Amino acid sequence: MLVKYFVGDIVKMRKQHPCGGDQWEIMRTGVDFRLKCLKCGRVVLLPRPKFLKQVRAVVSRSGGS
């Protein structure tokens, strides 16, 4: 099943960030995903294959079409 991700979605990742947070906001999609940790505010850039492997669930949708 192909899941679409939109800017503004909140996702839960398999591994925790060193700060202890595991929920991230998607800031950019495409070849790379830019994510912002909701606990500490750190912004990271992940390649699409790595992101798709590590994402566990969509916690909330932004309302994108």
Q: What is the tens place of the pLDDT at every residue in 2-53? A: 889 999 999 999 999 999 999 999 999 999 999 999 999 999 999 999 999 9
pLDDT at 63: 64
pLDDT at 60 over 90: no
52: three-class secondary structure by DSSP: helix
List residues bridging with 26 in a β-sheet: 35
Which residues neighbour 41 within 8 Å (Cβ) at sequence distance 6 or greater?
none
What is the sign of the dihedral through the CA atoms of 12, 30, 35 and 54? positive
pLDDT at 28: 95
pLDDT at 61: 86
Taking the C-alpha atoms of residue 15 and residue 22, their distance in angstroms, rounded to an integer, is 7
How many CB atoms sit inside 10 A of residue 21's CB? 16
pLDDT at 6: 94
* pTM score, whole prediction: 0.87
